[in-house]
């Protein structure tokens, strides 16, 4: 190696150190070349420059293949001596030979951290020699050793120095005198003496370190992983927990949000579209279910045709439920015609008060009554004692249409044929009335609905609260949806076919309806559909608009969003990630050291990190896969016990995605943490 006017200046924040002030050296012979000088004179700086670890001014020519034995031990402390050496060369013969030379054969299987300092130094030497360098750079090789070991080591170096050029930096004058073939003396960045003691032959170039293959790199990764089983398991555990928590947080966030949005839509009746008589000359205003309705005298042409509503439902797949109250049945078409001619402007009142012979028609909504209640016997008493406020037990009856079966259920199933699904508040009311203790208990039981209405036989309506009939319906399911404005019951038999209509309407094609409400699928364009329906029902004297009631109920039960749980899971995630980062950070020093060794011996750091962490990621993924199944079940059981829909849905691609993300994060974290800033760049 030739050094031509090497200069090095360290620029510190507040001062500049001229560490090397022009070094010219021709180092072309074998033997031990000692660079001697007091501490701080620039020896380590010079060695680092020779090893290509520092920037400098000047020129270096003819660099042989070398190995650099830094002052500190740079070995894989957790690996055995053998594995440390195998990572340089898999030439077992040479390995055994050097182990023998350095008297280390017995220690081969021992972990490096269990060796004495002298033994460690020797392992470093064996490793350096295994790849047959032309030059060995040694920074204070005996500094960590006692006198005996130092002498032993120097003896061994001496033996080697016939074959290899050894540049040895020390401040130990005695030792240099004893072993050196050439002594170069330095003082404050300059060479002040150069003395040849023994003439030696010209040095050779040595064998270049080859880049390691992927297979060799993978082998090293494997050795690193198994060298610290507990460490590897610990990291694996943390990665698995992180992946699992990410998966849980994501899953819960998505599901809880969807559940909350859905529930809130119903709770606030955002998805309800109602018909309101057009503001003509209003007779009186009444607040019905929080909606100010201006009652006018309706005419026959103000009523909806059954077929029109069926058509509207067909045209709008967003419509999931239809409710109508005050329906009129006409047995014969000519009756309709009669009505129109006779009393066109007073159709509503004609039905009410003129004593005409019309069949029954339902008056607004039915209400839930005790299932053991005997009609017509003690109704007065029942109403006065138990149900003075009939609003509280009134239910809105919706027909589920367009095949809608997505109501989230707390218990039971969606109804088939004659079954019904209760909204949560309807179920709660029934619980009170019939003494059930759980939603599950109601499933399969019957419940009683009192139909209120006008009857052609001249029933006298006492404040509109007389039941004209009581029908029993079977409870198929209880849904978690409810709202603040009405208690809902869902029939699943298609519009106009539910038992309420069965009672009142024999032939739905001869049905006219006064008030209609549409329930839309949560998330659809409520305003848009309302406008379209309004246009569609243009001829009828109503406005179709999105419901905007205020609610009549005093006590509004707020929707209990389980969002808090997502926050807890999120906090847990942060904690786990912090522990993982801290854990990686704790191993940082060791990682940096090991990275340097790998760099020296031709391993690609990135490749090794990738192989190792991809393996870890796959393991973590498999582990989290195994754990996530029972874990998801646990979380969902918890959700079910608290009457929520499942929080967790098993989603393999998402789990894989998080595992990949985790792997990439760990690789980047490792790279970032072990990234050493170059000592001094110009
Ligand atoms: P030696 O190895 O002979 O003890 P060094 O090469 O370590 O000497 O240091 C030579 C001079 O350069 C000293 O004055 C030291 O303080 C300074 N020095 C070494 N490394 C740095 C650095 N990274 N930044 C600034 N000054 C440094
Ligand atoms: Mg030094």
Closest ligand 1 atom to the C-alpha of 186?
A: 3
| Residue 168 confidence (pLDDT) above 90 | yes
Ligand at minimal distance from the CA of 38 is 1
Of the candidates 411, 386, 567, 417, which has an alpha carbon nearest to the alpha carbon of residue 477? 411
CB half-sphere exposure, 275, CA atoms < 13 A? 27
Separation of 502 CA from ligand 2 center, angstroms?
Answer: 100
177 pLDDT more than 90: no
Chain-wide mean pLDDT for the chain? Answer: 82
Q: How confident is the model at residue 354 (pLDDT cuts 50, 70, 90)?
A: very low
**Beta carbons within 10 angstroms of residue 394's beta carbon:** 19
Find, among 442, 447, 456, 446, the residue nearest to 410 by Cα.
442
Ligand nearest to the CA of 36: 1
What's the pLDDT score for residue 561?
A: 79
Which residue's alpha carbon is nearest to atom 24 within ligand 1?
A: 10
Distance 598 CA to ligand 2 centre (A): 23
Q: Ligand 1 site: residues with CB under 6 angstroms?
A: 10, 12, 17, 19, 37, 39-45, 679-680
148: Cβ contacts below 8 Å, ≥ 6 apart: none
Q: Is residue 387 pLDDT above 60, yes or no?
A: no
Identify the helix (H) or strand (E) that includes residue 428.
helix 424-434
Residue nearest to atom 27 of ligand 1 (CA): 10
Which tens digits make up the pLDDT trace of 13-26? 888 899 999 999 99
> Of the bound ligands, which one is closest to the alpha carbon of residue 9?
1
**Per-domain residue ranges of the chain:** 2-209, 225-258+563-681, 270-546
Banded model confidence at residue 391, pLDDT cuts 50, 70, 90: low
Supply the residue whose CA is at minimum distance from atom 15 of ligand 1: 40
| Residue (of 300, 279, 418, 390) closest to 351 by Cα position | 300
List pLDDT tens digits, range 569-605: 899 999 999 999 999 899 888 888 898 889 888 899 9
Residue 534 burial (10 A CB sphere; 0-12, 13-18, 19+): middle
Rounded distance, CA 202 to CA 216, Å?
Answer: 34
Question: What values do phi and psi take at 241, rounded to 5?
Answer: -60, -40
CA of 67 to the centre of ligand 2 (A): 17
pLDDT of residue 380: 61
Whose tokens are 């957790």? That residue is 78
Q: Tens digits of per-residue pLDDT, 304-343?
A: 888 899 999 999 999 999 998 766 655 444 454 454 444 4
What is the 413 CA–ligand 1 centroid distance (Å)?
A: 79
Compute the distance between CA of residue 671 and CA of residue 181 in angstroms, rounded to an integer.
42
pLDDT surpassing 80 at residue 412: yes
Ligand 1 centroid–CA 44 distance in Å is 7
What pLDDT shows up at residue 297? Answer: 53
Q: Which range, 60-69, 74-83, 484-493, is most confident? A: 74-83
Q: Which of 21, 45, 184, 676 to mutate to test the pocket of ligand 1 (most atoms within 8 A of CB)?
A: 45
Q: Which residue, by CA, sits nearest to atom 13 of ligand 1? A: 40
Q: Residue 529 has what pLDDT?
A: 96
Q: How far is the CA of 38 from the centre of ligand 2 (A)?
A: 9
Task: Dump pLDDT digits (tens) for 252-306.
Answer: 888 888 888 898 899 888 899 988 777 555 555 555 544 555 555 555 556 788 8
The predicted-structure confidence for 126-159, as pLDDT tens digits, reads as follows: 888 887 888 999 998 888 778 887 887 888 888 8
Task: Name the closest-CA residue to atom 22, ligand 1.
Answer: 10
Ligand nearest to the CA of 55: 1
- Whole-number Å distance, alpha carbon 128 to ligand 1 midpoint, is 25
Q: Does the domain made of 2-209 have the CATH classification 3.40.50.300?
A: yes
Q: Would the pTM of this model clear 0.75, i.e. be above it?
A: no
How far is 300 from 512, CA to CA, in rounded Å? 9
Q: Please tell me the distance from the alpha carbon of residue 169 to that of residue 150, in angstroms, as a whole number.
A: 14
Q: Whose CA is nearest to atom 25 of ligand 1?
A: 10
């Amino acid at each position: 190696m030739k050094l031509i006017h090497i200069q090095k200046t360290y620029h510190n924040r507040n001062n500049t150190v001229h560490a090397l002030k022009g070094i010219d050296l021709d180092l072309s012979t074998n033997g031990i070349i000692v660079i001697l000088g007091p501490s701080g004179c620039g020896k380590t700086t010079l060695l680092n420059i020779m090893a290509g670890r520092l920037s400098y001014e000047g020129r270096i020519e003819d660099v042989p293949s070398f190995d650099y034995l830094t002052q500190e031990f740079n070995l894989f402390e957790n690996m055995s001596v053998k594995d440390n050496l195998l990572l340089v060369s898999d030439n077992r013969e040479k390995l055994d030979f050097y182990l023998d030379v350095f008297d280390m054969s017995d220690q081969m299987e021992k972990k490096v951290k269990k060796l004495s300092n002298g033994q460690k130094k020797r392992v470093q030497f064996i490793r350096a020699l295994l790849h047959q360098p032309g030059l060995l750079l040694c920074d204070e090789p005996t500094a960590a050793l006692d006198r005996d070991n130092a002498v032993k080591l120097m003896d061994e170096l001496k033996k080697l120095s016939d074959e290899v050029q050894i540049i040895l930096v020390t401040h130990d004058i005695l030792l240099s005198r004893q072993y050196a073939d050439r002594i170069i003396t330095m003082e404050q960045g300059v060479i002040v003496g150069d003395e040849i003691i023994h003439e030696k032959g010209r040095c050779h170039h040595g064998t270049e370190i080859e880049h390691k293959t992927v297979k060799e790199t993978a082998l090293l990764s494997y050795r690193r992983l198994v060298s610290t089983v507990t460490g590897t398991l610990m990291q694996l555990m943390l990665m698995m927990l992180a992946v699992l928590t990410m998966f849980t947080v994501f899953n819960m966030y998505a599901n809880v949000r969807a559940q909350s949005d859905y529930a809130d839509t119903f709770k606030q009746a955002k998805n309800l579209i109602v018909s309101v008589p057009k503001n003509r000359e209003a007779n009186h205003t009444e607040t019905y279910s929080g909606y100010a309705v201006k009652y006018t005298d309706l005419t026959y042409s103000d009523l909806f045709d059954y077929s029109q509503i069926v058509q509207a439902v067909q045209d709008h797949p967003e419509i999931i439920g239809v409710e109508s109250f005050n329906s009129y049945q006409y047995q014969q078409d000519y009756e309709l015609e009669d009505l129109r001619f006779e009393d066109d402007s007073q159709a509503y009142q004609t039905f009410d008060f003129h004593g005409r012979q019309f069949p029954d028609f339902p008056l607004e909504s039915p209400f839930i009554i005790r299932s053991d209640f005997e009609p017509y016997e003690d109704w007065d008493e029942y109403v006065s004692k138990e149900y003075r406020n009939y609003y509280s037990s009134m239910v809105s009856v919706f027909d589920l249409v367009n095949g809608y079966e997505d109501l989230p259920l707390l218990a039971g199933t969606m109804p088939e044929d004659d079954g019904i699904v209760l909204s949560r508040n309807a179920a709660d009311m029934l619980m009170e009335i019939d003494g059930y203790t759980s939603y599950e208990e109601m499933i399969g039981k019957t419940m009683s609905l009192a139909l209120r209405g006008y009857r052609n036989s001249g029933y006298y309506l006492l404040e509109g609260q007389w039941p004209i009939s009581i029908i029993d319906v079977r409870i198929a399911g209880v849904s978690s949806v409810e709202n603040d404005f009405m208690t809902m019951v869902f029939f699943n038999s298609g519009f106009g076919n539910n038992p309420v209509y069965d009672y009142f309407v024999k032939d739905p094609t001869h049905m006219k309806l006064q008030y209609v409400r549409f329930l839309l699928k949560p998330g659809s364009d409520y305003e848009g559909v309302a406008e379209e329906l309004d246009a569609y029902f243009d001829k009828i004297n109503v406005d179709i608009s999105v419901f905007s009631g205020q609610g009549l109920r005093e006590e509004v039960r707020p929707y209990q969003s389980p969002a808090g749980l997502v926050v807890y899971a999120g906090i847990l995630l942060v904690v786990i990630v912090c522990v993982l980062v801290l854990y990686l950070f704790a191993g940082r020093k060791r990682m940096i050291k090991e990275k340097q060794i790998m760099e020296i011996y031709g391993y690609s750091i990135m490749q090794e990190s990738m192989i190792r962490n991809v393996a870890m990621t796959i393991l973590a993924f498999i582990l989290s896969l195994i754990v996530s199944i029972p874990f998801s079940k646990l979380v969902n059981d918890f959700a079910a016990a608290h009457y929520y829909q499942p929080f967790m849905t098993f989603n393999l691609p998402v789990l894989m995605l998080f595992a990949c993300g985790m792997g990439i994060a760990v690789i980047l974290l490792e790279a970032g943490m072990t990234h050493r800033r170059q000592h001094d760049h110009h």
